[in-house]
Amino acid sequence: MSSTAKAETPNRQPSPSSLAALDIAAQLCSRLCHDMLSPVGALSNGLELLADEKDPEMRQRCFELLEASARASADKLKFFRLAFGAAGGFGDAVPVAEPRTLVEALVGPQGRTTVNWQFTSETLPKPMVKILLNFSLIAIEALVRGGTIDVACESRAGHSELVVRAHGPRIAFDEAIGRALAGELPASELASRTAPAAMLCQLAAALGGQVQFARSEDALVLGAMLPVG
């Protein structure tokens, strides 16, 4: 009988924090797929119509549909790349023109919602840009009947402050999103709608900052503070 003992690899279980991070990542992927389904589906429908349509005027309408759907798809991919992903094409600081362009593209040209901007610098730290984009997404979805979004960001006394205010009739704000922002939503209740807020809570905490919100019948205010440097 051999005296050599076989070493066994310990069965290491993932920590609760790593499981929570995986849950958030999975739900963010679900959110991305959900939001991309409409413009990509419109592209598919436009191609089907174009294949069968012979009338020149209707074919032109198909081309317009394809162009609008392709533009919407590209705009959303650019938005989610920076809002959810690593956005490796950028450095530690992002020009403020980038998130501004992405948010205004997401709002669209319909005119139901207007966005006002106030920045004290030409660039923002990438984590703050991520928070800005996700706050803006929450604000846009809260204005189901349109309204105004005010975005302001400034750096002072060793920290950077961001405020996004949505104002309009009948603000729609899911209580679960507020719980996720406050870090009070269990991983078992996480969904694609609340995952961005949970991500922001963890991001701010990891950087030594915080996120918060306040809501009234006709306004939603989202705030963040992060240390600079």
Q: What is the pLDDT of residues 66-80, one digit of tens each?
A: 888 888 889 999 999
- Short-list 32, 219, 37, CA closest to 142: 219
Average pLDDT over residues 14-25: 66
List strands edge to edge, sheet with 219-227.
113-119, 147-156, 159-167, 219-227, 210-215
What percentage of the chain has pLDDT greater than the value 70? 90
Is 96 inside any structural domain? yes
User: For residue 216, what are its two tokens?
Assistant: 């009234």
Instruction: Reply yes or no on whether the pLDDT at 91 is more than 80.
Output: no
> How much is the mean pLDDT over the chain?
87
Is 2 inside any structural domain? no
Strand 147-156, strand 113-119: pairing: parallel
Is 5 inside any structural domain? no
Which amino acid does the sequence have at 79? Answer: F
Is 10 inside any structural domain? no
Instruction: Reply yes or no on whether the pLDDT at 22 is more than 90.
Output: no
Instruction: Reply yes or no on whether the pLDDT at 153 is more than 90.
Output: yes
Is 12 inside any structural domain? no
Q: What local confidence, expressed as pLDDT, does residue 35 receive?
A: 86
- Residue 13 pLDDT grade (very low, low, confident, very high; cuts 50, 70, 90): very low
- The secondary element (H helix, E strand) that includes residue 133 is helix 126-142
Is 183 inside any structural domain? yes
Residues contacting residue 202 through CB under 8 Å, at least 6 positions apart: 20, 21, 24, 183
Lowest mean pLDDT among 11-25, 29-43, 61-75, 103-117: 11-25
The number of domains in the chain is 1
| DSSP code for 190 | -
205: containing domain: 17-227
Average pLDDT over residues 34-41: 86
Is 151 inside any structural domain? yes
Instruction: Reply yes or no on whether the pLDDT at 17 is more than 60.
Output: no
Q: What local confidence, expressed as pLDDT, does residue 44 receive?
A: 84
Q: What local confidence, expressed as pLDDT, does residue 12 receive?
A: 52
What percentage of the chain has pLDDT greater than the value 90? 55
Q: Say which CATH number the domain at 104 has.
A: 3.30.565.10
Is 220 inside any structural domain? yes
Which range among 30-39, 95-104, 151-160 has the greatest average pLDDT? 95-104
**Of 225 and 41, which is predicted with more confidence?**
225
